[in-house]
Amino acid sequence: MPKEPSPTVAFTEPLTSPPRIHQLSTLAELLEVAGTRKRIVEAWGVSARTYDTRKKSPGTCTIEEVQQLARVLQVSEDALFAIVRHQAAPPAATGA
C-alpha cells in the first residue's frame, strides 16, 4: 500500500522583501519559520518548555493552540489541523 503524502501548508514571511513563501509539511518546520519562539509562546499562553514539547510532539497541541497558531500566522486552520493529525497518527502497518 503506497504511503500517503504529507499534507502541507503555505506560509508567507510578510516582512521579507520580496515575501518568502514556504511549503511546509510539519509543525516543527512551520514553527521554525513562523517567527520568534516568544511570539508563539505569548499567543498560546504557555511556557517555553510547553512550546518545545508541542514542536517535538504535535499531537500534544490543543485544538485552541492550533486555531490560535492559524490566526497568528494567517494560514488555514484546516491545513494546520491536517498536518498535526498526520504527524500524530501512528505509522501505518506494513504488510510482509
pTM listed for this prediction? 0.71
Domains of the chain with CATH codes: 9-88 (1.10.260)
Full DSSP string of the chain: -PPPPPP-EEEEETTSSSPEEEEE-SHHHHHHHSS-HHHHHHHHT--HHHHHHHHH-GGG--HHHHHHHHHHHT--HHHHHHHHHHHHSPPPPPP-
78: closest CA among 52, 69, 20? 69
Which pLDDT does position 47 carry in this prediction? 94
Per-residue pLDDT for the chain (96 aa), expressed as one digit of tens each? Answer: 556 677 877 767 665 667 777 788 888 888 877 767 888 888 889 999 999 998 888 888 899 988 988 888 888 899 888 888 888 777 765 555
Which pLDDT does position 46 carry in this prediction? 92
Which pLDDT does position 2 carry in this prediction? 54
Question: Under a CB-based contact definition with an 8 Å cutoff, are residues 33 and 24 in contact?
Answer: yes
